[in-house]
Amino acid sequence: MRVLDLSKLDISPDDTCDIRITVETDSECDKYPAKQHARKVAAKLGVRDGLIYLVGKATINWGDSDQPRPFRQRRYFYYLSGVEEADCYLTYDIRNDLLTLYVPNFSLQHAIWMGPTLTVDEARLRYDADRFRYFAALRGDLNAWVDQYNKDSPIYILHSTQKPEISSEGLLLDDTSLIPAMNAAREVKDEYEIRMIRKANEVSALAHRNILENIHRMSNEGEIEGLFLDTCVSHGSKNQSYEIIAGSGPNAAVLHYVKNDEDFNERQLVCLDAGAEWNCYASDVTRTIPLGKDWPSAHAKDIYAIVEEMQEECIKRVRPGLRFRDLQELAHVIAIKGLQRLGVLKIGTVEEIRQSGASSIFFPHGLGHHVGLEVHDVSAQPITANGHWPREFVPEMSTPLLQEGMVITIEPGIYFNRLALENARRLPLAKYIDLDKAEQYIPLGGVRIEDDLLVTSTGYENLTTAPKGKEMLEIIRGHRE
Ligand code: GLY
Ligand code: MN
Ligand code: MN
C-alpha cells in the first residue's frame, strides 16, 4: 500500500526533489532480480569496468494530440531495473558493482493530475538496486564518474541516440557492444522470469478457455477479441503481448491478421493467436477452433490432425542440446507426408519436395522463437530462420542449440492462402502441388497450434495450459445447446 503523508510533504521552491513521502508495504516485497541481471550483462560484455547507461521510456503523446501514448517500458531497461514507470534512467558501474536508479523529479502538477511519480523511498522498497536518486542528480553523478574513470573505461549505451546529456568532448562511448551482450544475457531465463511467463500463460489459458466456452454464442471475430481482452484485464493482465489475431475462415491464413471485424457466416475455423502479458513478460498462444458443432468438414479435421502431429512430435523432442532447426525440418517432413496423403502434394519424394520449397507455401513461418520480455524475444542468435529456407540454405549462424532455461514456442501451422497459392503457380515448385486440390482448402484458411515450452535439464515443461485437441472439442461440445 502506498501512503502519501502530506504532513511530511516538504516542497521548497528551489528544490522540488526534496520531498518526503511515506511508503508502507503490507506484503513481502518480491523484487525483480535487476542486480543479478546487471552482473549477467557485465559478464556477457566480458569487461571489468565501464558504465552501462540506460534511458527508460519517456512519457510521449500521440502525434498532433495532447493524449499520452499507452506507456510501454523499453525491455532492455526493464531487464536491468524491473521498473515499469516512465521517465527513469539507470547506470551500472561495472567496476564498483553499483546499480543506480534515477526516478523523475517530483512534480506537483503531475502528482495532482496523474498521481505522484516514484519517490526514492518507494523505489528503494520496490526495486533491487544499490542507490536510488532523483533525476536532478544524474548529470552530476555522470560527470563525477567520467572524471574518475572514462579515460580508459567506456560508457556503454544501446544506441547512438541515447548518449548521456553531458559534455561529449572526449567522451569514451561504446554503442555497439551492449545490445549483443544484453541479447545473450536475456536468452536464458532465471527462476523469476519463468514465474512471470508461467503467470502470463495462466491468464492466457483462462482467456482461451473462456472463448471456447462461449464461441457458440458468437458470430463475429470482434466478439472473440472483446472477450479475450475482458478476461485478461479482469485477471490482472492489462496488456497483451501482441495484437490479438482472431482470423476466421480465409483470414486464418493471414499470419498476422489483426482487423478482427468479420462475421463468421458459414466459415469453418477461427485461428486465435492471443497471449496475455504479466509484468512485462509475454505468453504466446494459438488455438484453432472449429466454428461448428463438430469438425465442420473432413478438410478441417485432416489439417488439424496434421498440425497436431507436427506439434506433438516436435514438443516431445525438446531438450537441451537439441538443434532447433532440426525440429523445424521434422515439422516440414510431417507436413509434407500429411499433405501427400491428402493428395495436395502429388509427386516427388519428401526430400525433393522440401528442397523445392513447396512445403513452405503451406508452412511459411519458422517453427518457433524465444519468448520473454518480448513475444519474439532477443537472443544471441535466432533459433531458426523462417520456413522458406530448406536445410541447405540455412547459414550456420542460424543453428544454435537449445539450453536449459530457454523459453521457446513450438508453433507449426498449415495454411491455404489464396495469394500464396496463386504465386506458387508461377514457380518451379508448382509441379509438386495439386493446385486445384489445394484451392479446395482455401475456405478453411489454416490451422496453427502454439505453446510456450521451458527447456528443462531433462527435457521440457509445457507452460501453456490452454485447452487444445480433444479437450478443446469437449469444452466446445459441453457448452452447446
Ligand atoms: N503471435 C505471434 C507469433 O506467434 O509469433
Ligand atoms: Mn509465436
Ligand atoms: Mn503467436
Structural domains in the chain, CATH included, are: 34-186 (3.40.350.10), 191-478 (3.90.230.10)
Question: Which runs of consecutive H residues, i.e. helices, occur in 267-408?
Answer: 298-315, 324-341, 350-356, 359-362
- The Cα-based distances of 289 to 93, 242, 269, 315 in angstroms read 51, 20, 5, 20
Distance between Cα 368 and ligand 2 center (Å): 6
**Averaged pLDDT, 108-125:** 95
Q: Is the pLDDT of residue 392 over 90?
A: no
Contact 8, 127 (CB under 8 A): no
User: Has residue 421 got a pLDDT over 90?
Assistant: yes
**Considering only CA atoms, which residue is closest to atom 4 of ligand 1?**
284
Q: Please give the distance, rounded to the nearest whole angstrom, from the Cα atom of residue 274 to the centre of ligand 3.
A: 6
- CA 284 – ligand 1 centroid, Å: 6
Which atom of ligand 1 approaches the CA of 365 most closely?
A: 5
| Interatomic CA distance for residues 307 and 227, integer angstroms | 26
Alpha carbon of 458 to those of 190, 321, 331: distances in Å?
Answer: 17, 10, 22
Q: Among 8-22, 147-161, 182-196, whose mean pLDDT is lowest?
A: 8-22
pLDDT recorded at residue 246? 98
Testing ligand 1's pocket by substitution, the residue of 277, 328, 411 carrying the most ligand atoms inside 8 A of its CB is 411
Atom of ligand 1 nearest to the CA of 256: 2
**pLDDT band at residue 194 using 50, 70 and 90 as cut-offs:** very high
Spacing of C-alpha 35 from chain mean position: 22
Q: What is the pLDDT of residue 16?
A: 45
Residue 259 contacts by C-beta under 8 Å, 6 or more apart in sequence?
A: 221, 251
What is the number of the ligand 1 atom nearest to the C-alpha of 286? 4
Give residue 398's pLDDT.
55
How far apart (Å, rounded) are the C-alpha atoms in residues 15 and 105? 9
Element (H, E) at 317: none
The pLDDT value recorded for residue 393 is 47
Burial-class residue 461 by CB neighbours within 10 Å (0-12, 13-18, 19+): middle
Compute, in angstroms, the gap from residue 275 CA to the centroid of ligand 3.
7
Q: What is the Cα–Cα distance from 172 to 225, expressed in whole angstroms?
A: 49
CA of 385 to the centre of ligand 1 (A): 14
How many whole angstroms separate alpha carbon 434 and alpha carbon 241? Answer: 38
What distance in Å separates the CA atoms of residue 62 and residue 340, rounded to the nearest whole number?
51
Q: Which residues, other chains included, contact 228 with Cβ-Cβ below 8 Å and sequence gap of 6+?
A: 207, 208, 210, 211, 244, 246, 272, 274
Q: Is 430 exposed, middle or buried (0-12, 13-18, 19+ CB in 10 A)?
A: middle
In the predicted structure, residue 117 carries a pLDDT above the cut 90? yes
In this model, does residue 397 exceed pLDDT 60? no
Convert 299-317 to b/e letters by CB count within 10 Å (16 or more is b).
bbebbbebbbbbbebbbee
141 or 387, which is more confident: 141
Instruction: Return the percentage of the chain with pLDDT > 90, whole number.
Output: 87
Q: Residue 196: its pLDDT value, please?
A: 98
397 exposure class (CB count in 10 Å sphere: 0-12, 13-18, 19+): exposed
Query: Is the pLDDT score of 301 beyond 70?
Result: yes
369 Cα nearest atom in ligand 1: 5
Pick the residue whose CA is nearest to atom 5 on ligand 1. 376
Residue 247: predicted pLDDT: 98
CA 372 / ligand 3 centre spacing (Å): 13
Query: What is the predicted pLDDT for the residue at 478?
Result: 85
Q: How far is the CA of 287 from the centre of ligand 3 (A)?
A: 9
Set of cell numbers at residue 51: 558504465
Q: Provide the pLDDT for residue 212.
A: 97
Q: Nearest Cα to 412, choosing from 328, 299, 288? A: 328
Mean pLDDT of 454-467: 98
CA distance 160 to 176: 9
Arithmetic mean of pLDDT, 85-89: 97
Of ligand 1's atoms, which has the minimum distance to the CA of residue 275? 1
Which ligand has its closest atom nearest to the C-alpha of 409?
Answer: 2
pLDDT in the model for residue 383: 85
Integer Cα distance of 303 and 40 in angstroms: 44
Report the Cα 46 to chain-centroid distance in Å.
27
3-state secondary structure of 244: coil
Pocket test for ligand 1, best of 244, 286, 287, 383 (most atoms within 8 A of CB): 286
Query: What's the gap in Å between 286 CA and the centre of ligand 3?
Result: 6
Atom from ligand 1 closest to the CA of residue 245: 1
Q: How far is the CA of 287 from the centre of ligand 2 (A)?
A: 12
Per-residue confidence band for 385, with pLDDT thresholds at 50, 70 and 90 = low
Atom of ligand 1 nearest to the CA of 284: 1
Q: How far apart are CA 318 and CA 456, in angstroms?
A: 9
Residue ranges with CB less than 5 Å from ion ligand 3: 273, 284, 286, 450
For residue 403, pLDDT over 60 is answered with yes
Under the banding of pLDDT at 50, 70 and 90, the label for residue 390 is very low
CB-defined site of ligand 1, < 6 Å: 242, 273, 284, 375-376, 411, 450
Residue 188 C-alpha to ligand 1 middle, in angstroms?
A: 19
Report the run of H or E that residue 101 belongs to, with start and end.
Answer: strand 98-103
Closest atom of ligand 1 to 376 CA is 5
